[in-house]
Structure 1
Amino acid sequence: MVLTSQSGAAALANCPSGCNCNDDTLVVVCEESRLDVLPIALNPSIQRLIIRNNKIKTIDSSMQFYADLQHLDLSQNDLVNIPAKSFSYQRKLQELHLNHNKISSVTNTTFQGLNSLTVLNLKRNFLGELTNGVFTTLPRLEELNLGQNRISRIEARAFSGLSALRILYLDDNQLSSVPTTSFSLLGSLAELHVGLNAFSFLPDDAFAGLNRLTVLDLNGAGLFNISDFAFRGLPGLRSLNLFGNRLSVVPTHQLSSLTRLEELYIGQNDFLALEGHSFKGLKNLKLLDITGATQLERVEKGAFEDNVNLESVLLVNNKRLSIIEDNTLLGLPKLRHVSLRDNAIITLSESVFVGKELRQLDLTDNPMFCDCQLLWLQVLLNDKSNFTQVQCTSPEHLKDKYLKNLSADDLGCVLHDTRQQTIICIVVVACVATIATLVLILYRYRKSMQEKLKDYKWNKGRKNLEYHKPISTEEDCIVRGIHPSQYPVPPPHTPGLRPIPVTEL
């Protein structure tokens, strides 16, 4: 027990000023400790060494004393270069963070010895190119971050040996075209982030060989145009980010082959409208995010007709978007989240969507004109407590008032009770239907009815005529072909009885 106490005291005594050394967890943390060299007298058994935001300029031989390291963080220092074989003793190291330094180059000997490394972070340095085989000594590497450098050239076999790589960041560099040949070596890659470069154009088969890719980030890649078959060979792509490019139309045909796509981010582009079938073929799309499209003016009926699995639609911060046509969001049985925040929407028809199925609806920061056309929305807002408030912009007497708190009278509605309106509509429709049916029947059987009516009138007239005509003269009998000998003999006159005239029935 005494020996243990002395050992712990010795370890604490060797802990540099401003650092936190824990011999129980084998973790040393030195943040903003003003260190300019790596400490040499730490516990050689430490497993996590974090020396972040200091003044270290190079990695020296002191690293050889820490062979049990599993996590090394030297980010936010002043490292300019890394001598060859600096990590040759770190056979157990799994994560190496060298981000936010001033490293201008790495070679195929820089990371020699790091056979167990799974994460390498070189983000925000001064790297200008990647030469062939630079990462061949990292057979287990799964994540490589080269974002925010100055990389303008990647040789064809720069990524050779990275058979286990699953995540690659090359965003915010100076690439003028997609390094397709280099990518073709990364058969296990699942995520690729290459936004904020200067591609301008995606050719056919731009990502050939990446048949396991599920996430592709082209945010701010400078794209004006996308070839018809640019995304060919990406059968499993689930998420695509085209945010912040210069596309003048939605690339409907180019996207249609991505049948398993679930998330699409396509805001901050230059298209004017979402036309019918804009996202044709994307039958598994669940999330559509169109934020900050400064030219977008309208969303047309049928724009999402092919996307029956949509769950969330975000149309946010589109300063010219004022028209969302009727039935635009109908026929989407799984739709639960709709955000129309910060657009130029003045009014919204009840037939745009079935609001009662939604869990979230955001209409804030729109210049809403509150009149009777929004009575349906006022009722909906009162039914759904989790919907955002809608504040009126006009007319003047309702400015800044919340739609939820207004009455039908406030909105200028003649019929206050929506149930009364519904009953009246049903009665009117029923009457119109009945009249239309009668007219149709009369029109269809008009000839038959005319014939029957004509026959009825003729027969009635004939019977009346025959009933009232008496046979009273010999001439009438002769005309009728009756011989005088056949005249009916009148009965003897009986006193008190009036003679009954004989008529032919």
Structure 2
Amino acid sequence: MDSSVRGLLWFILILCTLPHLTCNMVCPNSCLCNFNGAVMCVGNALTDIPKQLPSNTYMLFLNDTNMNVINEQSLANQDLVLRFSLTHSHLHTIHPQAFHVAPQLKSVKLSSNDLSTLPARVFSPLTALEQLYIDENQLETIAPEIFEGLVVLQHLDLRQNKLTSPASDVFDGLTNLTLLNLGRNSIKYLPPTIFHSLPKLLSLSIYNNELEVLEDGIFDELVNLEELKLHHNQIASLPPQVFWSLRNLKTLTLSSNRFQTIPEKSFYNMPMLSQLTIYNNPLLSLPDELMGHMPEMREFYLYNTNLTTVPGNLFANMSGLLRLNFHLNYKLRELPSDLFCCLPVLQKLSLKSNNLHHLHPQLFSRLTKLGLLFLNDNKIQNIPEKTFQGLGELLTIDLKKNHLNNLPGHIFLPNTALRSLTLSDNPWDCTCGIRGIARWIRHNQHVVIDKEDVMCQSPMYQLLRTIVSLRDEEFNFCDTTTVPSFPTLNELHETAQPFHTISTIGQKTASTTSLPGATSATTEGATQQATIPATTKPADSTTSEVKTHSTSLHTVSTTLPSEEFPLVSETDSIHCKSAPFYDILVVEQGPEFVHHNFHRGWVYVWYLPSDITLAGLHMFCHILLVAAGLFLILAAMYSIYRLGKTMDKLKAERAHNEG
């Protein structure tokens, strides 16, 4: 945000929050004054603090000015001013005696300037100072005597400077300090006793620095600390029990460091902790004893690590946890069955973008208050039927982008509150097993928000059909058991002996005899069609009817692909997997199955010859025809070009002769 915009925002803030001016008040140009004593001045025309301010001024804000120096008389005659702010003004120098004329100040804000050094004891006269903001400057070092005498200081903001190694006694004497912000500096090392003189500190921020180690005992005296921010550093290890003295800590951020391991019991003795973040660390493992009693924990972030699994008791002591973000762990393959055993009030669980392959049936069984469950972008291959049982308050389940090819038909029946379910980008297998979940989706289309993208990936004849479009009658064949009596594969490739199949439906039995040589003759390479009646003959029939549907196509006995209808022994049973073959199954050596249609009780099977030589000839002819077509097009274009040139030449000669 540039300086002019910031100045305008400050101006609007003061204008909106302070009462209107009185008519007899004297207010300098470029300033806005309030009869209660608040004055704000904005503009490059200001090079020093205006001398003629209202006599009751107690708050003085200067923003986006041209004031580069605070001299020894800038604050003179401002005996009532308690809060002084000079920001976004490229201030680079403060006179050593600048604050001697205003010892009554309680708040000094010098943010967003160009201060690179501070005179020794420059703030020492401010014995009543409670707040000091020197953030967003260019300070590289701070001498210990700079804060000498600030015995009542409560807030000290030094963030976004260029500090590297503060001295161990730099904060000595600040015994009433409650907030210290050292974030966004370049601190590489902190002495072990640097915070020992700050027993009342409530908030300590050291985020976005270059810390590599934490010294043992560095936080031992911060017994009242409630917030500790250490994220975005380069810390690779933690001393054992380094946080044990922080019994009142509520927020701890350790994310974006370099932890590969964390010592046992690191987070013990912190019963008040409500937010813990350790994400964005290259963690390889976690100890079995890591988390102590944390009944106040509400949010836990553990993502983007190298974990492959976690201890089963990791969350056991977080009985009050509401939101668990356990995602983006690309190597996390499995979860202990009792991992979520002790989270009775958990409302949100995110396991998305992990590497999970399977889910234990009891994994979520005790999450009775769970409302949001994200399992998308994993590699889950199947989900047991009782996985979501007991989750009566579940509102959202995200299962997209997994490896699911089927789901039990009753898997979501216990989830009566379900309002949003996503299932797309899974390799759904639309054979007999899909019937149950397809029926559930049809009856709950309002719940499956991506139903138009939930498509069949197999078998080939169902490719790209939506599961919601599948109808129950398409799976009637799944209840049919076919007991074949087939020759062996070698016998089938030899010649000549007919084989017999028996189709059993209910109590009726029909048999069909087919001869391998019974195929009608067709023109070489032509597309062929087979028709099969979709209903059985009475039990006393011995042959199936085969009819010709079109005079332009010949009729043959149908051939089944070996992948979907494997040959079995006489003692085995086979279940028909392909929707076209309802009652009568005729198998014969022949060309490969391509496509089918079911119409008015007949199954029309389209296929092509499987002879390799013939297929190669067809391909060669196709390429030859394409090449010939391209040649003719080019020849025609060249002829048109030559004809045009000839016409132009004739026109030119005619014009010359007429001239």
Q: Could you say which residue in structure 2 is the equivalent of 1:72?
A: 84
Structure with higher RCO (Cα < 8 A, 6+ apart): 1
Point out the structure with the larger helix share. Answer: 1
Q: Could you say which residue in structure 1 is the equivalent of 2:424?
A: 392
Q: Could you say which residue in structure 1 is the equivalent of 2:631?
A: none
Q: Could you say which residue in structure 1 is the equivalent of 2:170?
A: 158
Contact 1:382-1:404 within 8 A present in 2 as well: no
Residue 192 of structure 1 aligns to a residue whose secondary structure is: strand
Contact 1:286-1:312 within 8 A present in 2 as well: no
Give the Cα–Cα distance (whole angstroms) in 1 for the partners of residues 225 and 207 of structure 2: 16
Contact 2:121-2:145 within 8 A present in 1 as well: no
- Aligned pair in 2 of structure 1 residues 409, 169: CA closer, same or farther (>3 Å)? same
- Aligned pair in 2 of structure 1 residues 411, 287: CA closer, same or farther (>3 Å)? farther
Matched, 1:307 2:341: no
Contact 1:115-1:139 within 8 A present in 2 as well: yes
Root-mean-square deviation (CA, aligned residues, Å) is 3.6
Q: Deviations over 1:227-258 (max 9, x none)?
A: 21323433333321111100012444322344
**Aligned with 1:383 (options 393, 400, 417):** 417
Residue 264 of structure 1 aligns to a residue whose secondary structure is: strand
Matched, 1:39 2:50: yes
Question: Quick check: 336-345 or 148-157, which moved more?
Answer: 336-345
Give the Cα–Cα distance (whole angstroms) in 2 for the partners of residues 320 and 241 of structure 1: 23
- Aligned pair in 2 of structure 1 residues 126, 185: CA closer, same or farther (>3 Å)? same
Matched, 1:145 2:157: yes
Residue 60 of structure 2 aligns to a residue whose secondary structure is: strand
Give the residue type in structure 1 aligned to 2:114.
Answer: K
Q: Deviations over 1:1-39 (max 9, x none)?
A: xxxxxx944645x4323x4322x2322223455533322
Matches within 5 A, 1:43-442: 43-60=54-71, 61-272=73-284, 277=288, 279-284=290-295, 286-290=297-301, 292-299=303-310, 301-321=312-332, 323-340=334-351, 343=354, 351-353=362-364, 354-361=366-373, 367-369=401-403, 372-373=406-407, 378=412, 383-385=417-419, 390=422, 392-395=424-427, 403=448
- Aligned pair in 2 of structure 1 residues 319, 35: CA closer, same or farther (>3 Å)? farther
TM-score by length of structure 2 reads 0.54
Give the Cα–Cα distance (whole angstroms) in 1 for the partners of residues 112 and 411 of structure 2: 51
Matches within 5 A, 1:446-485: none
| CA radius of gyration, larger in | 1
Contact 1:348-1:374 within 8 A present in 2 as well: no
- Aligned pair in 2 of structure 1 residues 332, 232: CA closer, same or farther (>3 Å)? closer
Give the residue type in structure 2 aligned to 1:104.
Answer: S
Residue 338 of structure 1 aligns to a residue whose secondary structure is: strand
Give the deviation of 1:156 after TM superposition.
3.1
- Aligned pair in 2 of structure 1 residues 331, 254: CA closer, same or farther (>3 Å)? closer
Give the residue type in structure 2 aligned to 1:30.
Answer: C
Q: Could you say which residue in structure 2 is the equivalent of 1:454?
A: none
Give the deviation of 1:290 after TM superposition.
2.6
Give the deviation of 1:147 after TM superposition.
1.3
Q: Could you say which residue in structure 2 is the equivalent of 1:15?
A: 28
Give the residue type in structure 1 aligned to 2:340.
Answer: L
- Aligned pair in 2 of structure 1 residues 150, 330: CA closer, same or farther (>3 Å)? same
% identical equivalent positions: 22
Give the Cα–Cα distance (whole angstroms) in 2 for the partners of residues 90 and 84 of structure 1: 13
Give the Cα–Cα distance (whole angstroms) in 2 for the partners of residues 332 and 411 of structure 1: 39
Q: Could you say which residue in structure 2 is the equivalent of 1:473?
A: none
Contact 1:206-1:231 within 8 A present in 2 as well: no
Residue 266 of structure 2 aligns to a residue whose secondary structure is: helix
Q: Deviations over 1:256-305 (max 9, x none)?
A: 34454332111110014557x46332443513433552534445543322
Give the deviation of 1:380 after TM superposition.
7.0
Give the residue type in structure 2 aligned to 1:334.
Answer: V
Contact 1:345-1:367 within 8 A present in 2 as well: no
Contact 2:345-2:367 within 8 A present in 1 as well: no
Give the deviation of 1:142 after TM superposition.
0.9
Give the Cα–Cα distance (whole angstroms) in 2 for the partners of residues 295 and 184 of structure 1: 36
Give the deviation of 1:81 after TM superposition.
2.3
Residue 65 of structure 2 aligns to a residue whose secondary structure is: coil
Give the Cα–Cα distance (whole angstroms) in 2 for the partners of residues 346 and 56 of structure 1: 64
Give the deviation of 1:377 after TM superposition.
7.5
Give the residue type in structure 2 aligned to 1:36.
Answer: T
Give the residue type in structure 1 aligned to 2:57.
Answer: I
- Aligned pair in 2 of structure 1 residues 65, 306: CA closer, same or farther (>3 Å)? same
Contact 1:168-1:192 within 8 A present in 2 as well: yes
Contact 2:244-2:267 within 8 A present in 1 as well: no
Question: Quick check: 84-93 or 149-158, which moved more?
Answer: 84-93
Give the Cα–Cα distance (whole angstroms) in 2 for the partners of residues 53 and 347 of structure 1: 60
Give the Cα–Cα distance (whole angstroms) in 2 for the partners of residues 413 and 184 of structure 1: 73
TM-score by length of structure 1 reads 0.68
Give the Cα–Cα distance (whole angstroms) in 1 for the partners of residues 244 and 161 of structure 2: 29
- Aligned pair in 2 of structure 1 residues 373, 352: CA closer, same or farther (>3 Å)? farther
Corresponding pairs, count:
400
Give the Cα–Cα distance (whole angstroms) in 2 for the partners of residues 294 and 156 of structure 1: 34
- Aligned pair in 2 of structure 1 residues 305, 114: CA closer, same or farther (>3 Å)? same
Residue 133 of structure 1 aligns to a residue whose secondary structure is: helix
Give the Cα–Cα distance (whole angstroms) in 1 for the partners of residues 469 and 138 of structure 2: 62
Contact 1:108-1:137 within 8 A present in 2 as well: no
Q: Which runs of 5+ in 2 are unaligned?
A: 1-20, 378-399, 431-437, 439-445, 455-465, 473-659
Give the deviation of 1:121 after TM superposition.
1.0
Give the Cα–Cα distance (whole angstroms) in 1 for the partners of residues 299 and 470 of structure 2: 36
Contact 2:94-2:119 within 8 A present in 1 as well: no
- Aligned pair in 2 of structure 1 residues 45, 330: CA closer, same or farther (>3 Å)? same
Contact 1:205-1:232 within 8 A present in 2 as well: no
Q: Could you say which residue in structure 2 is the equivalent of 1:495?
A: none
